[in-house]
Chain A
């Protein structure tokens, strides 16, 4: 089955700096890669996703890149703000699966 590794587990940045979270996956058949943001006391919420036929996708201050050859994908947050502080999860969906495989999460703290 699919295995997703996520790094780092914790990340602290100064407000205004950029943050990068990286994930690797094992199943070359995986074709969909969403990112979720989980604020304290809430369930995860989809913030951006990318499909295997695309190398990069942007939505305002967040972007995701995908390298299918190396089987890794990354989340980039620019001009970080205190409200970006949360736990971020990457996930992968393999072609035959009906459920996502999640990474272990990254606790992002944006320091004012």
Chain B
């Protein structure tokens, strides 16, 4: 596809369940980012992948959150034992290179997660 694709677009789950969110970046983009956007808040950085380097996990809020990027392309964000405070829009973005001052960051439309 032409842009960053995220699925599902909406996810409703029960407290305590695990969820997986998928991101398909723009082909050829080496950098991939996950953000969380809570209602009325800015974008909170979660995790960053750059090529084959170890990911920057410094933004993950707890050990219930994890992400992987297989084959340098598709990424999956997993939230285990979901809590109500995990309800938010999860955005994925990709860029051609890691230097964001020189490479535009393109965002997907996000996955709206609702934990009941």
Whether A41 pairs with B109 at a CB distance below 8 angstroms is yes
Q: How far is the CA of A20 from the CA of B40 in the complex (A)?
A: 19
Also in contact, A102 and B109, with CB within 8 A (given A32-B100, A43-B4) = no
Is B48 on the interface with A (CB-CB < 8 A)? Answer: yes
Among the listed B100, B106, B109, which residue makes an inter-chain contact with A99, where contact means beta carbons less than 8 Å apart?
B100
Q: Least Cβ distance of A80 to chain B in Å?
A: 22
Report whether over half of chain A's contact residues are helix, strand or loop; otherwise say mixed.
strand
Instruction: Give 5 CB contacts A-B under 8 Å.
Output: A31-B101, A36-B107, A43-B91, A51-B101, A100-B45
Candidate in B100, B109, B110 with the most chain A CB atoms within 10 angstroms: B100
Whether A98 pairs with B50 at a CB distance below 8 angstroms is yes
Whether A43 pairs with B42 at a CB distance below 8 angstroms is no
Contacts A43-B93, A45-B107 known; 7 new A-B pairs at CB < 8 A: A36-B107, A43-B91, A44-B43, A89-B43, A99-B100, A102-B42, A104-B41
